[in-house]
């Protein structure tokens, strides 16, 4: 598996609010045997928006804004009380108190056929841990501190959905489609995120959580500075043959929807669906498997996403959540990948990139990895290059 497959999900006409475009995804039949529920956590800080800590189990602690977790239930019990913290009323959701740090980003419930995982944090942890250990070979250009601590700490900035202009209003205003199991969110017609769940009832409960999800800096900028986007409009002309009755009108309307779906998948969502990803399986539960994925970090101007995916035994997508990387985040991932592929040797890496050693050092510092470099070693390498 190298690509995201949305077979079984159909696109419905877009819903537009200012610069935000929501594209509903519906299923003819839900994915049987898996349900997703929400679990709400207490938040730190006086304003309730502080960070939470997750012990990832290898001596490091992942600290981030964690508004809620998802509970994947494959028990088949279909019990409504499993939906911790969700409700249909106007009151605040009940919180599940967690006094101690959360343990691991994906954890199976003891003695139960359920798995708790933190949405998007699996994917972000995969990106942050990309070559986290730093140089695997101590060439003279790297500091000994870099070898001991690696890229520690690593941090990335993101915005909560409620801070993305127009998103909360769009999610509140538009009604859900019958059978809706997902949505693609666009800002200034650039894909911000994709969200898919196995069952329409799951989506109905989890739809409001999009305002608590994490969105990248680029998405926030597009939503803040981009202008309104054109609304979906179906134009049915009375051409040759004409519209004679309601059946003809219905057929023409469906043809307009089909054209919209083809245009969406072939143009707007092309980068997401055609990019080859590196998938890492995190957990297997019966006939379902939970993965996180990373893009190839190619600097070709295309959108690049990280994310999480649950598939069944037929490789059908039951759950999907993505995070759009900024250009700077793509550059950092690309640079780390090229360094690692050249055994962290600066000279060979510069040659592979078609640049000079000095330019490579500049790029390493510009990417925020300057602490890895050793000033004395760089000076020595420069003298040896001049003497050679």
pLDDT digits (tens, 9 = 90+) for 152-206: 777 888 888 899 999 999 999 999 999 999 999 999 999 999 999 999 999 998 8
Question: First CA to last CA across the chain, in angstroms?
Answer: 47
Interaxial angle between packed helices 346-353 and 327-341, expressed in degrees from 0 to 180 and rounded to the nearest 10: 120
Burial 74-94 (b: 16+ CB within 10 A, else e): beeeeeeebbbbbeeeeeeee
Question: pTM of the prediction?
Answer: 0.78
Tokens at 39, concatenated: 């679990």
Give tens-digit pLDDT for 272-321. 999 999 999 988 878 889 899 999 998 888 899 999 999 998 888 999 99
Q: Per the structure block, which two tokens stand in for 137?
A: 């070979």
Task: Encode pLDDT of 11-61 as tens digits.
Answer: 998 899 999 999 999 999 999 888 887 766 555 544 445 556 666 566 666
Tokens of 204: 């109905």
User: Would you place residue 93 in the very low, low, confident or very high pLDDT band (cuts 50, 70, 90)?
Assistant: very low
Q: pLDDT tens across 100-110, in order?
A: 444 455 555 44
Model pLDDT, residue 301: 84
Cα distance between residue 204 and residue 182, in whole Å: 10
CB 231 within 8 Å of CB 14: yes
Q: Give every CB contact of residue 124 below 8 A, 6+ residues apart in sequence.
A: 64, 156, 158, 214, 306, 323
Burial class for 116, CB neighbours closer than 10 Å (0-12, 13-18, 19+): buried
Which residues is 20 bridged to in the sheet? Answer: 17, 187
Alpha carbon distances (Å) from 328 to 5, 41, 189, 203, 216:
27, 31, 20, 32, 11
- The pLDDT value given to residue 97: 36
Predicted pLDDT of residue 204: 92
């Amino acid at each position: 598996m190298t690509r995201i497959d949305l077979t079984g999900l159909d696109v419905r006409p877009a819903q537009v609010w200012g610069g935000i475009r929501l594209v509903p995804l519906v299923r003819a039949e839900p994915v049987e045997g898996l349900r997703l529920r929400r679990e709400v956590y207490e938040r730190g800080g006086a304003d309730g928006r502080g960070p939470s800590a997750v012990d990832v189990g290898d001596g490091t602690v992942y600290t981030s804004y964690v508004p809620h977790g998802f509970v994947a239930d494959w028990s088949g019990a279909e019990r409504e009380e499993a939906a911790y913290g969700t409700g249909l009323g106007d009151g605040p959701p009940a919180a599940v108190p967690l006094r101690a740090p959360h343990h691991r980003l994906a954890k199976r419930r003891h003695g139960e056929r359920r798995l708790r995982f933190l949405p998007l944090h699996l994917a972000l942890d995969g990106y942050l841990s990309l070559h986290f250990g730093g140089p695997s070979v101590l060439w003279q250009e790297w500091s000994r501190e870099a070898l001991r601590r690696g890229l520690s700490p690593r941090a990335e900035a993101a915005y909560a959905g409620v801070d993305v202009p127009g998103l909360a209003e769009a999610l509140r205003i538009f009604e859900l489609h019958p059978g809706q199991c997902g949505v693609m969110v666009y800002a200034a017609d650039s894909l911000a995120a994709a969200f898919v769940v196995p069952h329409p009832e799951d989506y109905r409960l989890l739809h409001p959580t999009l305002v608590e999800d994490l969105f990248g800096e680029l998405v926030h900028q597009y939503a803040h500075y981009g202008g309104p986007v054109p609304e979906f409009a179906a134009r049915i002309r009375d051409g040759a043959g004409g519209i004679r009755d309601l059946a003809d009108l219905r057929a023409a309307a469906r043809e307009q929807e089909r054209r919209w779906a083809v245009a969406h998948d072939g143009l707007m969502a092309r980068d997401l669906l055609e990019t080859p990803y590196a998938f890492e399986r995190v957990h297997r539960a019966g006939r379902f498997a939970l993965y996180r994925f990373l893009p190839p970090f190619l600097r070709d101007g295309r959108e690049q996403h990280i994310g999480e995916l649950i598939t069944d035994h037929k490789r059908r997508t039951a759950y999907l959540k993505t995070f759009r990387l900024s250009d700077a985040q793509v550059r950092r991932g690309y640079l780390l990948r090229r360094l690692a592929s050249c055994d962290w040797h600066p000279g060979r890496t510069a040659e592979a990139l078609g640049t000079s050693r000095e330019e490579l050092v500049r790029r390493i510092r510009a990417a925020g990895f300057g602490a890895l470099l050793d000033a004395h070693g760089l000076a020595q390498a420069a003298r040896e290059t001049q003497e050679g």
